[in-house]
Amino acid sequence: MATLNFRLREKTKKHSGVRPIDVRADALQVVPLLELVFHQNLRGRASNALGPAMTFRLPWQPAPVVPGFVYEKDGDIAGNVSLMVTKDPNRYLVANVAVHPDQRRQGIARKMMNAVIHYVHQRRGHKIVLQVEEKNNAAADLYRSLGFNEIGTVIQWQAGYGALQSHIPVGVPVSARRPDTYEAFMLRPLRNDVAHGAYQLDISTHSAEMNWPDTPSLNYYRQGLSQWWETLVEGRHREIWLAMTHQKEVIGIGAIESDWGRPYVLRIRIHPEWRELVARPLVAKLIRRLHYMSTRPVNAVHIKDDQIVSRLLDEAGFRPQRTLVTMCLNFKK
């Protein structure tokens, strides 16, 4: 049995209950707590959850992590909830809710979440969004009792680079770098002349609250100085292919993006009426493009109800890792 023994420094004043987290002082206890609770998903990377709050920022730059709260019990940290801000200043994300296994069923998670709700309400936030494992009924019931409603469910997929090489979807011709033309549509790289159409398809096919952490803005689909700067200085990669009718209506989006040294992430958006026809060529194009990129794992997050794309991801060598239900608490404006 795991024991509550994360205290790595003596406290001059013992406290029991919920309090705001002191990131620098509490990290030595919070990091092992997160690794204990989420060990299968974090795999030694729990410090990433607190890292952004500990980095240098200019005075006018907002902190990507709102410090959040911990539950302290006689000097030891028994629980942690982390908040994240988004590009929408009225929208907050609950990044994690962790309670030590030996301290569960004592109302600790509820007390921490009540502190979060009060915090956001006091700052006139409009909504709080979180994700919970589909099979974690106890946590989902807690969030419902606090006023959260289900928005939708996504599956997180993952594939090793070697798996993609041997499982590329077959039965449809795709070129390596050039556009592809089919009878009813074409696949071509994103250009600024259809940026607005791509953005409209994105927001119409995917609930804004299911995007984590943010919904792509119109600028996401515009090629300009900011994208060049991200590529050159920040080490970010973004490649977007569009499925378009011959009348230039955007009916599908396939994006490959990554940060420096991190796995590639696939984003796939397809108009429901075109899914049957477009999904296979679009997924095949993305997999083909990945073969010309550096050797890294590849992740994909896609709507659970889209069985067509799910089947293609499975065919391409992806395997489901987690199924997450997105829940949202809206405050009255």
Q: What confidence tens digit (pLDDT) does each residue in 72-115 have? A: 998 899 999 999 988 888 999 999 999 999 999 999 999 999 99
Confidence at residue 50, expressed as pLDDT on a 0 to 100 scale = 54
State whether CATH 3.40.50.970 applies to domain 17-125.
no
- What digits encode the pLDDT tens for the residues 149-179? 999 999 999 998 887 766 665 568 899 899 9
Where do you find CATH 3.40.630.30 in the chain?
17-125, 155-325
Q: What is the CATH number of domain 155-325?
A: 3.40.630.30
> Which residue's structure tokens are 């419902």?
144
Confidence at residue 53, expressed as pLDDT on a 0 to 100 scale = 44
CA distances from residue 124 to 29, 89, 269, 332, 333 in whole angstroms, order as listed: 31, 10, 32, 10, 8
121 falls in which pLDDT band (50, 70, 90)? very high
- What digits encode the pLDDT tens for the residues 273-321? 999 999 999 999 999 899 888 888 999 999 999 999 999 999 888 999 9
How far is Cα 262 from Cα 235, in angstroms, rounded to an integer?
Answer: 10
145 falls in which pLDDT band (50, 70, 90)? very high
Confidence at residue 13, expressed as pLDDT on a 0 to 100 scale = 56
The secondary structure of the chain in percent helix, strand, coil, rounded to multiples of 5, reads 35, 30, 35
Under 8 Å CB-to-CB from 2, ≥6 apart: which residues?
36, 100, 101, 102
Confidence at residue 193, expressed as pLDDT on a 0 to 100 scale = 93
- What digits encode the pLDDT tens for the residues 198-232? 999 999 998 888 888 888 889 889 877 666 666 66
